[in-house]
Structure 1
Amino acid sequence: MYFPVSHGEHAVRLGNEASISQTIKVKPGMWYALILGASRTCAQDEVLRISVPPQSGDVPLQTLYSPHGDVIAWGFRATSNVAKVILHNPGIQEDPACGPLLDAVAIAQFYPPKPTRGWSFAANLVKNPGFEEGPFPIFNSTNGVLLPPKQEDRVSPLPGWMIESLKAVKFIDSKHFNVPFGQGAIELIAGRESVISQILRTVPNKVYNMKFTIGDARNGCHGSMMIEAFAAKDTLKVPFKAVGKGHFKTVSFKFKAFENRTRITFYSSFYHTKIHDYGSLCGPVIDQVIVHPVA
């Protein structure tokens, strides 16, 4: 059986209930992201179980987002000075030749994100607002890095943010894509099934302003796009006509907080594919999210 290898010349296929592991040195309390070149080998519901005890999670590989193999990131927080990384195939497939295919593994270290302190307009309540802390591709990956669904804030590979959706979102870098600000941004590639959110510390009955930038990644993604933004009980729908050339715009709206914790949420209203590759999902880019109290 032939297996395409996207990164390098060699790979490991995990057969039924197979595992590989390695012990690495880490710093207690620091955030990390495992960055993996992973794909399925058969048209079956394959899953990769990633464990760094006591944390564990299942990454679905059924949906392929790139014809050249996907790169995924999975986050964890170190609890001691060593961590055992375990990659496991928990499934039992009818065809023993099936199973997750791994062709690259790397690790990135993050500092715990914090809001930007300041007075009034100088403050930003959003942690990691410009996505400058993220799983930048360490090995050769021109398709971005997928952030698996249901990644909570405490273990997210995107520090400060939660991926609450049923499908992945994509972390993109300025080396390979159009990024409005800085080095990183998020592409919402699966419509309403791609959702990012964050919980902010707010003051009840106080009014806040939220500003963010949307655009396209200059990757051939086209069409009438729309990002929906939610904060407390307020909603903003932002239309954007993408022609795949890297254009972007900045919008803002005000919302009133009702509790000392307020969730902000973003998702894409529609599904999109690339103009020259209708098998590759894509979507609007979001960057530079700023929330500050209104004076």
Structure 2
Amino acid sequence: MSYMFFFHCKTMALFLSLCFVFILSLYTGSASAATPPHLDGLLPNGNFEEGPKPTNLKKTVIVGKYSLPKWEINGMVEYVSGGTQPGGFFFPVPHGVHAIRLGNEASISQNIIVNPGSIYSLTFGATRTCAQDEVLRVTASGQSGDLPIQTLYSSDGGDTYAWAFNATSKVVKVTFHNPGIQEDPTCGPLLDAIAIKEMVPLKLTRGNLVKNGGFEYGPHVFKNFSTGVLLLPKQKDHISPLPGWIIESLKPVKYIDTKHFLLPSGLAAIELVGGRESAIAQILRTVPNKFYNLTFTIGDAKNGCHGSMMVEAFAAKETLKAPFESLGKGGFKTSSLKFQAISARTRITFYSAYYHTKLHDYGHICGPVLDNVRVLPVS
């Protein structure tokens, strides 16, 4: 009798244990299914290669709010192909064949599933098509930014921008809007590719007070074609798409990758394309009166950018002018600056002293490369 009771209890315990494991697996499975994937790539139909049905096109104008697959449209939105256009225009579409042009007050939108509390960066190819004063407004999660696209940084239409936002809900509506009103209602910004990337929270690197000093963490870079990603200054971009860093002054800096440029090391670096009108900075935790050594690498990305380059570095009360003579064929050098902290927070800042263009393309603005920024206490 006691043996049968023991066997019955053991069997019940095994059964309950298996039930618990099964229920737990269902719970964890459903929980993981509810967690959005780590985003890093094109949005659905982000390159607009999936076009409207011919019946939903009136010449190039899209007819119908949901006629562009995966997108919601408002106002006059055109579906165009790259190349020569009627009226003598030429639309460059470096990221594919098709693109979207936003007319007066027009917009396109898409809902995206995200992780609330995470930072996301949107990377998109954009250029003006008619007027000098065209603006592109990007909105997501109650945050918005106006991108002035008057200045063309690449003459082949390859200008690519990044804009970051903080997700405040599980579903975020991303909108690209043309707030301008031109005499020609079809005039407006051209969008040819849109991608998204979830930004990983930064951690301090052992032996370096600078966060993301090698610029390894940044926005999505298009794989098939890239002239670099323009990072707008803080006045236009309240959350930086370059974790750890502040983009200062009036002009953007450019995020470049090792697949399309020659870099000192690693996967990415910064090209200071705006001369004195763009600067990159970071605020470090320091000990007052303690001495530190700032080191960094400068050079050219073998992209035809040439001339007498000069990167100016600032830390506490110290300044360093680091020259580099570029032939546009690559090459790098390391510079260092010793400084004494005067407070518990020390700002380090870099900018290019001169303006540069490419050797055989004067319409392409460029500048020196910055990489491997390190700050160590002097023992």
TM-score normalised by L of structure 2: 0.74
**Is 2:163 aligned against 1:100?**
no
* 1:51-89 deviation line (CA, Å, top 9, x unaligned): 112221111100001112211111112222222111111
The answer to whether the Cα contact below 8 Å between 1:136 and 1:173 also exists between their aligned partners in 2 is: no
Match of 2:239 in 1: 155
Q: Which amino acid aligns with 2:323?
A: P
**Is 2:144 aligned against 1:60?**
no
Structure 1 counterpart SS, 2:125? strand
Alpha-carbon RMSD across the aligned residues, in angstroms, is 1.5
Aligned residue-pair number? 290
Shift of 1:153: 8.5
* More moved, 150-159 vs 243-252: 150-159
Shift of 1:139: 4.4
Match of 2:326 in 1: 242
Structure 2 counterpart SS, 1:155? coil
Structure 2 counterpart SS, 1:192? helix
Match of 2:23 in 1: none
Q: Higher relative CO (CA 8 A, sep ≥ 6), structure 1 or 2?
A: 1
Distance between the aligned counterparts of 1:151 and 1:289, measured in 2? 24
Aligned pair in 2 of structure 1 residues 103, 139: CA closer, same or farther (>3 Å)? farther
Aligned pair in 2 of structure 1 residues 258, 152: CA closer, same or farther (>3 Å)? farther
Distance between the aligned counterparts of 2:254 and 2:334, measured in 1? 20
Q: Which amino acid aligns with 1:129?
A: G
Match of 1:24 in 2: 112
Residue 176 (structure 1) aligned to one of 241, 260, 264: 260
The answer to whether the Cα contact below 8 Å between 2:163 and 2:237 also exists between their aligned partners in 1 is: no
The answer to whether the Cα contact below 8 Å between 1:152 and 1:163 also exists between their aligned partners in 2 is: no
Structure 2 counterpart SS, 1:72? strand
Match of 2:131 in 1: 43
Structure 2 counterpart SS, 1:11? strand
Distance between the aligned counterparts of 2:317 and 2:184, measured in 1? 50
* More moved, 221-230 vs 107-116: 107-116
Match of 2:10 in 1: none
Any residues of structure 2 matched to 1:77-88 within 5 Å, and which?
A: 77-88=166-177
Q: Which amino acid aligns with 2:349?
A: T
Distance between the aligned counterparts of 2:118 and 2:265, measured in 1? 26
Distance between the aligned counterparts of 1:223 and 1:251, measured in 2? 19
* 1:159-182 deviation line (CA, Å, top 9, x unaligned): 111111211111110111011010
Distance between the aligned counterparts of 1:109 and 1:38, measured in 2? 21
Distance between the aligned counterparts of 1:4 and 1:223, measured in 2? 29
The answer to whether the Cα contact below 8 Å between 1:152 and 1:162 also exists between their aligned partners in 2 is: no
Structure 1 counterpart SS, 2:249? coil
Gaps of 5+ in 1: 118-122
Gaps of 5+ in 2: 1-85
Aligned pair in 2 of structure 1 residues 233, 153: CA closer, same or farther (>3 Å)? farther
**Is 2:96 aligned against 1:8?**
yes
Any residues of structure 2 matched to 1:131-150 within 5 Å, and which?
A: 131-150=215-234
**Is 2:376 aligned against 1:288?**
no
Shift of 1:275: 0.5
Distance between the aligned counterparts of 2:225 and 2:234, measured in 1? 23
Shift of 1:50: 0.8
Q: Which amino acid aligns with 1:23?
A: N
Shift of 1:18: 1.1
Structure 1 counterpart SS, 2:266? coil
Q: Which amino acid aligns with 2:127?
A: S
Match of 1:120 in 2: none
Aligned pair in 2 of structure 1 residues 115, 153: CA closer, same or farther (>3 Å)? farther
Shift of 1:94: 2.0
Residue 276 (structure 1) aligned to one of 347, 354, 360: 360
Structure 2 counterpart SS, 1:164? strand
TM-score normalised by L of structure 1: 0.94
Indicate the structure (1 or 2) with the bigger Cα radius of gyration.
Answer: 2
Distance between the aligned counterparts of 2:238 and 2:291, measured in 1? 27
Shift of 1:241: 0.3
Distance between the aligned counterparts of 2:181 and 2:238, measured in 1? 31
Identity of aligned residues (%): 68
